[in-house]
Structure 1
Amino acid sequence: MSYPSPWQPWQAQSSPSMLASHADRERAVDVLRAGFAEGRLQQTEFDRRVARAYEARTVAELSLIVSDLPQGPLAVQPSAAPVQPYPAVPRTFMPAPPPPTNGKAVGAMVCGVLTTMTMGVTGIPAVILGHTARAEIRRTGEGGDGFAMAGLVLGWLSVAGWAVVMAILFLASVSST
């Protein structure tokens, strides 16, 4: 089984007769520098090729200058299917996708946060949604347990706050009579 070669800057061009850009010339010079640093080119050959690279007018000229170096362009074979830059990674080595988040857990969190703006009215729905979401999460393995727990805590704080307010009002009404 053969894998496609790594992507080369020249493969993105649609035609070898396309005029070379400054970036194309710099990429070619970078390939030459790498070849010189690896000992593949002598100083005189390196200087000559760099001068030719800066004078090149087309992408084809640049590809000829670096074609015998490892990072140089490979011959572009026309194909109907686009070439992938790297071989596909087998599913075995790819990370598992995260489980979907439970919608009721998100609802519990939203209701819990809204208790501060609704003066606790959304506290009871937050508690109900939070308990339901946690049960579903344990059963199905979905994500969102943190959302459900946050909704539960905020909901129970709201319910407890309303219980304290009602107790104070009740004691005030009993003591006033």
Structure 2
Amino acid sequence: MLASHADRERAVDVLRAGYGEGRLEQPEFEKRVGRAYAARTVGELALLVADLPQGPVPHPAPVVSVPGTFLPVRPRTNGKAVGAAVCGGMCLVTFGLTGIPAVVLGHAARAEIRRTGDAGDALALTGLVLGWLSTIGWALILTAMIVAAAASA
């Protein structure tokens, strides 16, 4: 790989540190600096500093973060869909009182999700199913009670 100016300067810095620590004599230092500035490849530079403590350090790839503009956009979860799922899940605890709000919120959330592209369609659908099951269950229970009352009278 061809050496860049930065590679050459890094090698000269390593040579300067070695000279400053007394690891190189002045003639050897000047000879190596001249060869560093004349080097064409990274391999030639590595040979010049291989016997020094800060010798051939691998060049780490620069860590570049991806600008926010290029990151994938994660759609936000629709609040009505979350509300529909919560109301649908609470149907058993509230004996079906939250079934109708689950159905209303579920339909509103699915319409809004289709329009805006928000996430949460599965939550809205869960709320709808549980809400309708609760509502139908209560309708059947009330119908059975009315029929039983009419039959006993």
Normalising by the residue count of structure 1, what TM-score does the alignment of the two structures yield?
A: 0.53
User: Which amino acid is the alignment partner of residue 138 of structure 2?
Assistant: W
d(CA) in 1 for partners of 2:103, 2:112: 14
- For residue 105 of structure 1, what is the aligned residue in structure 2? 81
Runs of 4+ in 1 over 6 A off after TM superposition: none
Matched, 1:89 2:76: no
- Alignment gaps of 5+ in structure 2: 1-45
Greater gyration radius: 2
d(CA) in 2 for partners of 1:98, 1:167: 46
- Alignment gaps of 5+ in structure 1: 1-39, 42-48, 50-63, 75-84
Cα deviation 1:17-64 (Å, max 9, x = unaligned): xxxxxxxxxxxxxxxxxxxxxxx99xxxxxxx9xxxxxxxxxxxxxx6
Matched, 1:131 2:103: no
Post-superposition offset of 1:167: 1.0
RMSD: 2.4
Matched, 1:141 2:128: no
Identity %: 53
How many corresponding residue pairs? 104
User: Which amino acid is the alignment partner of residue 89 of structure 2?
Assistant: V
Matched, 1:71 2:46: no
Cα deviation 1:106-158 (Å, max 9, x = unaligned): 00000000001000000000000000000000011111101000000000000
- For residue 153 of structure 1, what is the aligned residue in structure 2? 129
Normalising by the residue count of structure 2, what TM-score does the alignment of the two structures yield?
A: 0.61
